[in-house]
Structure 1
Amino acid sequence: MPEAPFRYRSPDEDSARWHGFPFRDGDIVISTRSKCGTTWAQMICALLVLQTPELPAPLTTLSPWLDWLVEPRDEVYARLAAQRHRRFVKTHTPLDGVPQDPRVTYLVVARHPLDMAVSLYHQGANIDRVRLAELTGRSAPTGPAPRRPDVPEWLRSWIDRDVDPREELDSLPGVLWHYRDAWARRDEPNVVLVHYDDLSADLAGQMRRLADRLGIDVPAPRWPQLVEAATFDRMRVRADLLVPDPLGVLKDRDAFFRRGGSGAARELLGADDLARYRARVAGSVPADLLDWLHRGR
């Protein structure tokens, strides 16, 4: 008998919302850590499934975040049940927290942990905590906001934090936990791993690879417009349609697509900090996974 999925919980998410979800043949589950290319992967799936750059609805409607607590579970289920196209659903839950179904393709997008951390830092400043608390039924924060460290200081503390990875999924141990679980499943026929830097370096090639893995046939004349619609610059122009903020949690939607590149942390940290990072991750996950994550850096 298969092992029951682990339950991941945070103030804003609960993976138990996946339990009992009625999968369909062909469903796609997009499983990523925060700021690792989630919206990019959702957009690519939308383009491949619908085969048009003109989406019929906002991306969050087409591809809801199932375990986010800001929207009632039954409403999300009902919206997905009404969809007639092939479904592609977002989650930040590792694969060991999502029911495994052979009819489903599980797409995991990974990014260099330090690049993810820099994006996470900036995203944290863009979240309206009062609005988020209101939507999740928690008490709003009161009193003056604590001092926010600068990026290098915050990165050093992020590298050094020693926490339970299943309790703090956006910590360094949590990021590695998510990737290690996916890496162990990478040879399963319905698990696809994609690296953020590969999307940056060869978007067209990665989209064709994903179409092949999903069994989607795209007519040759249609490819250029689909690839162009998935570029970072084009997605930033269409932020109102694509940013995952249907209920006003972000202070500035345009700031969501901030930079899109890689290497920011290595520009901010010194040699000693980078050495400390390498020492922290060494031995915590398989060496071949680290080589893949770091892409020879």
Structure 2
Amino acid sequence: MSQSKISILQSTPLRPSDIVIATHPKCGTTLMQQIILTLLASGDKNIVKEPMVLSKWAEMTVSNSNVSSLTDWIPDQSTQPSIETPRRVIKTHAPYHLRPWSSQSSAKVVVVSRNPGDACVSMWHHSLDIPAFRYTANFSHFWNFLYSKGKVEHGNFWLWHSGWYNYLQNGGDVLWVKFEDIKENPEREIRRIAEYCCIEVSDEVIWKTVKASSFKNTKKTADTINADKASKGIRFKKNHIRKGESGKWRKTFGEESDGFEMFHVGKCRELEMPLNLFPM
């Protein structure tokens, strides 16, 4: 993205009704898009077939077209049938200091974090699956020479989270949600999300959203859509929704697991972030 487009984005305020999902890549972005969009759709999973289409990625949208394609965007009424004026759900991978807006106003910002072990493993697979990256190295190389040094998409994992955490600690209006907590107790976390985003829903809608955002359902929907795109010759990113597991990173890190944990603890202490932000 050019500096001119960044400058324009950072001089544009959010709308009061906006909901922003801020994540470092592979930390639960699509899951949170599915949850929030399904809540806004009154629990109708058939409306939310492609969350990555219904929720615009700020940086990518502006990079591929013009700034007005984001700033003037109004969601289709059919995606939020019970809401008179549809709310925009915007995704960003930007660190806090590069956030794509000038003022938050009363817009809602949901930050999703995930333990760096699982995030790193997922990012490795992600990098292998993108032909343009031309990356074929093993996991040890990815961890030691790329991820640990912040040489991946959207930069250093720990610095990224530190920026948003400091904003939260200084009184910023942010809901911090842990990927692991959603996996452990989806009903509780979805209720927190709905309450923070001021989305009034019934218990039935909560349960429909729990079901719609399960890994089994999101994976099945994505596979069906991708198969249809493949039959039509439409390009798509394979394995975007891969396993959605939590706590399995040690299997891939192997004998490097202890060293990784020491590195992680050191980074959290250096940046004054509590270890419980990232359930390992």
Q: TM-score, normalised by structure 1?
A: 0.75
1:94 maps to 95
Which residue of 51, 60, 66 maps to 2:58?
Answer: 66
Separation (CA, whole Å) in 2 of partners of 1:218 and 1:24: 22
Contact 2:109/2:175 (<8 A) preserved: yes
Q: Deviations over 1:171-203 (max 9, x none)?
A: 5xx111111111122253621111111111111
Separation (CA, whole Å) in 1 of partners of 2:150 and 2:240: 28
1:5 maps to none
Q: Does 1:239 align with 2:222?
A: yes
Separation (CA, whole Å) in 2 of partners of 1:277 and 1:25: 40
RMSD: 3.1
AA paired with 1:86?
R
Task: Flag the 1:242–1:199 CA change in 2: closer, same or farther, 3 A.
Answer: farther
Task: Flag the 1:38–1:102 CA change in 2: closer, same or farther, 3 A.
Answer: same
Separation (CA, whole Å) in 2 of partners of 1:182 and 1:118: 22
1:113 maps to 116
Q: Deviations over 1:133-173 (max 9, x none)?
A: xxxxxxxx8xxx56x2222332233355376xxxx5545xx
AA paired with 2:178?
H
Deviates more, 1:266-275 or 1:114-123: 266-275
Task: Flag the 1:119–1:276 CA change in 2: closer, same or farther, 3 A.
Answer: closer
* Post-superposition offset of 1:281: 4.7
Indicate the SS of the match to 2:126.
helix
2:80 maps to none
Indicate the SS of the match to 2:181.
helix
Contact 1:128/1:251 (<8 A) preserved: no
2:276 maps to 291
AA paired with 2:173?
N
1:32 maps to 23
Separation (CA, whole Å) in 1 of partners of 2:235 and 2:157: 23
**Aligned ranges 1:184-195 → 2 under 5 Å:** 184-187=166-169, 188=171, 190-195=173-178
Can you give the 5+ residue segments of structure 2 that lack an aligned partner in the other structure?
78-84
AA paired with 2:246?
S
Separation (CA, whole Å) in 2 of partners of 1:281 and 1:71: 41
Q: Deviations over 1:70-119 (max 9, x none)?
A: 34433333433776311110111122222332311111101111211111
Q: Deviations over 1:208-248 (max 9, x none)?
A: 011111122211233222210011110111116888xx996
Bigger share in helix: 2
1:77 maps to 71
Indicate the SS of the match to 1:178.
helix
Task: Flag the 1:159–1:226 CA change in 2: closer, same or farther, 3 A.
Answer: closer
* Post-superposition offset of 1:49: 1.7
AA paired with 1:40?
L
Task: Flag the 1:36–1:15 CA change in 2: closer, same or farther, 3 A.
Answer: farther
Task: Flag the 1:88–1:160 CA change in 2: closer, same or farther, 3 A.
Answer: closer
Task: Flag the 1:251–1:280 CA change in 2: closer, same or farther, 3 A.
Answer: closer
Deviates more, 1:148-157 or 1:113-122: 148-157
Deviates more, 1:223-232 or 1:73-82: 73-82
Separation (CA, whole Å) in 2 of partners of 1:115 and 1:152: 14
Counting aligned pairs with the same residue, the percent is 22
Separation (CA, whole Å) in 2 of partners of 1:126 and 1:17: 32
Separation (CA, whole Å) in 2 of partners of 1:162 and 1:257: 23
Task: Flag the 1:184–1:77 CA change in 2: closer, same or farther, 3 A.
Answer: same
Indicate the SS of the match to 1:76.
helix
Task: Provide the aligned length of Structure 1 versus Structure 2.
Answer: 259
Separation (CA, whole Å) in 1 of partners of 2:29 and 2:225: 11
Contact 1:228/1:234 (<8 A) preserved: yes
Can you give the 5+ residue segments of structure 1 that lack an aligned partner in the other structure?
1-8, 130-140
Separation (CA, whole Å) in 2 of partners of 1:111 and 1:242: 26
* Post-superposition offset of 1:29: 1.0
